[in-house]
């Protein structure tokens, strides 16, 4: 049986991508308040918690297939989202835009962009879920720990990104887009070069 410390370490390692993406999200959503940061963190935490369940349910029969494509799916989603953020950053600014609250349909990327980013950064946890099933780990406890840690880490990421946006200014979306593409490339590289 895997202990709470081991699950905590696993949760921290799985939340690294979510943290980096949340920093980019916070940099873009410059008007994000604490409750917006918590909401965004909770979305990342939810998907990080639910994807191991998907892997656990799929079981060992599909583990080879999941491991073979999860990195390509994550790479494709993050490349598309990051590329779109960069494209939007280079579009001409409209005069005196209305301030937007993070995680609203009017914010750049909106709810669908947030969900797609959270899903892309948590897709590798599906394969982890298969491993958790093999090790006979209590999947409910594992998901609660992983989701809780990711929520906290991603919330801090949004807050850090928001404050960093004051230094980054109008280049926040470019930086956020590059960060997402970098995460996607890192996921792809790690999987393709694994022994």
Walk along the chain (195 residues) and give the pLDDT tens digit of each residue: 457 777 787 777 778 778 888 888 887 776 778 888 999 999 999 999 998 888 777 765 555 666 677 778 778 877 887 787 788 777 745 444 444 444 443 344 578 888 888 888 787 677 677 666 656 678 888 889 999 999 999 999 888 888 776 665 556 667 767 877 887 788 788 878 877
Q: What is the pLDDT of residue 101?
A: 40
Q: What is the distance between the alpha carbons of residues 29 and 27, in angstroms, rounded to a whole number? A: 6
User: Would you state the pLDDT for residue 64?
Assistant: 61
CA 110 to chain centre: 15
Domain ranges, ordered by start, for the chain = 4-165
Predicted confidence at residue 148, as pLDDT, reads 93
**pTM as predicted:** 0.66
Alpha-carbon gap, residue 2 to 148, rounded angstroms: 17
Q: Say what the pLDDT of residue 61 is.
A: 57
How open is the CA angle 68-70-74, to the nearest 5 degrees? Answer: 140
DSSP reduced 3-state for 81: helix
- CA distances from residue 191 to 9, 61, 111 in whole angstroms, order as listed: 20, 20, 29
**Burial 55-72, CB ≥16 within 10 A → b, else e:** bbebeeeebeebbeebbe
Q: Tell me what pLDDT residue 100 has.
A: 41
């Amino acid at each position: 049986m895997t202990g709470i410390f081991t699950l905590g370490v696993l949760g921290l390692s799985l939340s690294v991508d979510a943290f980096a993406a949340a920093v980019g999200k916070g940099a873009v959503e410059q008007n994000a308040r604490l409750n917006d940061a918590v909401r965004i963190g909770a979305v990342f935490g939810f998907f990080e918690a639910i994807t191991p369940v998907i892997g656990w349910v799929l079981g060992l029969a599909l583990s080879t297939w999941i491991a073979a494509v999860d990195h390509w799916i994550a790479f494709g989603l993050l490349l598309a989202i990051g590329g779109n953020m960069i494209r939007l950053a280079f579009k001409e600014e409209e005069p005196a835009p209305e301030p937007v609250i993070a995680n609203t349909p009017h914010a750049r990327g909106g709810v669908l962009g947030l969900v797609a980013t959270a899903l892309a950064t948590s897709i590798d946890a599906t394969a982890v879920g298969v491993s958790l099933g093999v090790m006979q780990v209590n999947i409910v406890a594992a998901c609660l720990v992983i989701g809780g840690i990711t929520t906290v880490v991603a919330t801090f990421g949004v807050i850090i990104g928001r404050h960093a946006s004051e230094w980054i200014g109008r280049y926040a979306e470019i930086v956020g887009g590059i960060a997402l593409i970098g995460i996607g490339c890192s996921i792809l590289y790690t999987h393709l070069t694994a022994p």
